[in-house]
Amino acid sequence: MMHLDPAPGAPHLGVRDLRADLAAHVRRAEAGERVIVTVDGRPAAQLAPISPDGTPDLDDLAAAGLVRRPLRSDRPGPPQDLPLLPIDISIDQVLADLGGEPLRRRGGL
């Protein structure tokens, strides 16, 4: 059975080492560090900071198996060189600019 690492890149710590200096490891978590606790070399739990508002972050959700981490670390940037569109233009003006005709209302609609 394959075990996925819930927080790739986070330091791993065996249960014996955790017990030996629990207070220091809790302080590290309080400072923002996430540590994976292993049992017989397998990830079993994590020691991590509590988010300020109490909501889970991506690392928490991935560790719980509720989401998968992205396969790619790069993200596309914002679109460049998009024309600015006026927000105060009517559909009739758009159609006129495109060479069409405005819609005619029928039957009093």
17 assigned to some structural domain: yes
Strands lying side by side in the sheet with 12-14 = 12-14, 35-39, 42-47
Q: Kindly state whether residue 21 falls inside one of the protein's structural domains.
A: yes
In-domain check, residue 35: yes
CATH of the domain at 44: 3.40.1620
Number of domains in the chain: 1
Given this model, what pLDDT does residue 88 score?
84
Expressed as residue numbers, the domain containing 40 is 12-63
Q: Is residue 103 part of a domain?
A: no
Residue 3 lies in a domain: no
84 domain-assigned? no
Question: Which pLDDT score is estimated for 1?
Answer: 46
**Which residue is it, tokens 């560790």?**
63
Beta bridge pairs of residue 43: 38
From first to last of its 109 residues, what are the pLDDT tens digits of the chain? 445 555 667 788 999 999 999 999 999 988 888 888 999 988 888 888 887 777 887 877 887 778 888 888 787 777 777 677 777 888 888 788 888 665 665 555 4
Element (H, E) at 97: helix 91-97
Report yes or no on 28 lying in a domain.
yes
